[in-house]
Amino acid sequence: AHEAALAARSKDNLRSPICCILGHVDTGKTKLLDKIRQTNVQEGEAGGITQQIGATYFPLDALKQKTAVVNKDESFEFKVPGLLIIDTPGHESFSNLRSRGSSLCNIAILVVDIMHGLEPQTLESMKLLRDRKTPFIVALNKIDRLYGWKKIDNNGFQESLAMQNKGVQNEFKDRLERTKLAFAEQGFNAELYYENKNMAKYVSLVPTSAHTGEGVPDMLKLICKLTQERMTGSLMYLSEVEATVLEVKVIEGLGTTIDVVLSNGILREGDRIVLCGLNGAITTNIRALLTPAPLRELRLKSQYVHNKEVKAALGVKIAANELEGAIAGSRLMVVGPEDDEEELEDEVMADLQNLLGKVSKDNRGVSVQASTLGSLEALLEFLKQSKIPVANISIGPVYKRDVMMAGTMLEKAKQFAVMLCFDVKVDKEAVAYAEEQGIKIFTADIIYHLFDDFTKHMAQLREQKKEESKLEAVFPCVLNPLQVFNKKDPIVIGLDVIDGTLRPLTPIAVVKNNPVTNVKEIISLGRVTSIEREHKAIPLCKRGQPSVAVKIEGPNQPLYGRQIEEKDTLYSLISRKSIDTLKEFYRDDVSKEEWNLIKKLKPLFDIP
């Protein structure tokens, strides 16, 4: 089988495509992977399917066997030598498989639960796929849950569907149409795969069941077809090494190791490699290239096999010194005889530098922390589109020093004293410090949720500020005095509201020309502390409503009969600041008539 694969590779010089599985939680990604891996062939090990580090490799023979039910006449000709499927489904693996901003994942399976349609993480995955221009197919999973579905294990979908009664077929059609519509709403044209005449324009939908295995052969064949037809260019076998760190793990007896997906070229024991680290570039020599021991050899002492060299595409564990601080999502480069080590170091670090370049120039913004380079990049892109400014970024668990960085915002812009943490642990000491300082830490496994948390946080702060600014917000009104009951401390006066609305706490003024100096004077009377009608307190009085008795209190009240007279019209005392406060926090509470009244009152108070 291995020879056949190699032969196929040399024939067309294509390498195996790398495939990722994405989708919302519980759509069946893991189950689908299990189903694909499952060996249902009597003899041997299912055509040499091999478990690798973080990935499973399906050589040509395995693909042929697994797609036989939908390729009975063998009219479909395989050109790829095999398929490498990444074992950890989800965003992180996908966004970490990257190099110079482009994706190393050649094709993706987006899993959608046919009973649920598009869910938040589905949309997020679609965005990632679109941003990275990665071709994908959609597995419309859980078809066995259509009411009354009669299964035939591991069958081709079309044949299984034909066997169902009308009711099931109609429900399927109905859900299919709804799914297509939902995709259209997201700007994707989608079509049932065997009705799709244009794979470049339409996304193919493959109905599957991870439980019965139905549709899985269709799915595998479609992946091969799509890669062969659409991407032979990117699948050309190259000798130049192209590799990414998927995970950084401490393994007993080996120390810190990196799990790497090699998408092109060859890695050899002893190779000098360069990768991106938290504290600068890491340059070291490969001590061991490890792949998992085959199942039947598990009784052996080590769970790993040592390899002298490995060829793309595959997943491999690398043991080496100085790997502490290695960043998942980093590119891995090999220092060749002609290469300048420092140049390569600059190149791998450029990925992190690029992200650092994306933080806000004026240093006002939230702090962002993610588990890997890839997820950080995805998060930053999302925040950019959501117009949330970012001031600090970091990778890995959140420690006190990270929270301290976020804390510098407390003085500059309190609303940004916030950490948005994606898929990372937060140290206890960091939590305690954040609480003490009033810095918010939001953590989530879904980028979307971080956005929601932050939006809620902003709304809360706003509410708080609105409450704090209550005294600054002056709603406009014009009052016609009827009778003064008490001239001073407090002023009590009967009046009609002739324009606007009178509310408690409104500051009141009289505006008149000083008869001696002939200069306009604004005389403050204080604030309204109660509004009563027929001896009962009321919350407000609108223009045209029956007269009210109003109490006005404040320091240095003018005396009726001296500075002011009983007949003087009373106004709400507005100012530039009161107008700005209304605009900022009470825009929705101020009616059109009230804005007009404010406009009318502005000249009176000399507000430009």
- Min CB(30)–ligand GDP separation in Å: 3
- Min CB(65)–ligand GDP separation in Å: 21
The residue (of 168 and 350) whose beta carbon lies closer to ligand GDP is 168
Structural tokens at position 22: 């994405």
- Min CB(117)–ligand GDP separation in Å: 15
The residue (of 210 and 510) whose beta carbon lies closer to ligand GDP is 210
The total of other beta-carbon atoms located within 10 Å of residue 224's CB is 25
Site residues (vs ligand GDP, CB under 6 A)? 23, 25-31, 89, 141-142, 144-145, 209-211
Coil, helix or strand at residue 148: coil
The residue (of 29 and 440) whose beta carbon lies closer to ligand GDP is 29
By CB atoms closer than 10 A (0-12, 13-18, 19+), residue 86 is buried
d(C-alpha 366, C-alpha 278), whole Å: 20
- Min CB(134)–ligand GDP separation in Å: 19
Cis peptide before 68 (omega within 30 of 0): no
- Min CB(26)–ligand GDP separation in Å: 4
d(C-alpha 40, C-alpha 155), whole Å: 12
The residue (of 5 and 110) whose beta carbon lies closer to ligand GDP is 110
- Min CB(71)–ligand GDP separation in Å: 22
- Min CB(260)–ligand GDP separation in Å: 23
- Residues sharing a CB contact under 8 Å with residue 471, sequence separation 6 or more, in sequence order: 505
- Min CB(159)–ligand GDP separation in Å: 17
The residue (of 89 and 277) whose beta carbon lies closer to ligand GDP is 89
Residue nearest to ligand GDP (CB): 28
The residue (of 138 and 210) whose beta carbon lies closer to ligand GDP is 210
- Min CB(212)–ligand GDP separation in Å: 7
Q: Helices (DSSP H) in 408-543: which residue ranges?
A: 409-412, 428-437, 447-468
- Residues sharing a CB contact under 8 Å with residue 54, sequence separation 6 or more, in sequence order: 86, 87, 88, 93, 246, 247, 259, 261, 315
d(C-alpha 66, C-alpha 36), whole Å: 8
The residue (of 145 and 173) whose beta carbon lies closer to ligand GDP is 145
- Residues sharing a CB contact under 8 Å with residue 509, sequence separation 6 or more, in sequence order: 522, 523, 524, 525, 570, 571, 572, 573
- Min CB(220)–ligand GDP separation in Å: 15
d(C-alpha 522, C-alpha 510), whole Å: 6
The residue (of 119 and 521) whose beta carbon lies closer to ligand GDP is 119
- Min CB(46)–ligand GDP separation in Å: 20
Rounded to the nearest 5 degrees, what angle is found at the Cα of 426, between the Cα atoms of 425 and 427? Answer: 120
Q: Please answer whether residues 218 and 70 qualify as being in contact, where contact means their C-beta atoms are separated by less than 8 angstroms.
A: yes
The residue (of 69 and 243) whose beta carbon lies closer to ligand GDP is 69
The residue (of 215 and 500) whose beta carbon lies closer to ligand GDP is 215
CA 118, 63, 231, 266 torsion: positive or negative? positive
d(C-alpha 215, C-alpha 151), whole Å: 11
- Min CB(157)–ligand GDP separation in Å: 12
Amino acid identity, residue 23? G
The residue (of 144 and 594) whose beta carbon lies closer to ligand GDP is 144
d(C-alpha 394, C-alpha 403), whole Å: 11
Q: Which of 359, 419, 424, 416 is nearest to 396 (CA)?
A: 424
Q: Please answer whether residues 343 and 349 qualify as being in contact, where contact means their C-beta atoms are separated by less than 8 angstroms.
A: no
- Min CB(113)–ligand GDP separation in Å: 8
The residue (of 211 and 287) whose beta carbon lies closer to ligand GDP is 211
Q: Which of 314, 315, 294 is nearest to 9 (CA)?
A: 314
The residue (of 89 and 217) whose beta carbon lies closer to ligand GDP is 89
Q: 340-345 — which CB contacts under 8 Å span 24+ positions?
A: 341/272, 341/274, 341/283, 344/274, 344/281, 345/274, 345/280, 345/281, 345/283
3-state secondary structure 341-387: HHHHHHHHHHHHHHHHCCCCCCCCCEEEEECCHHHHHHHHHHHHHCC
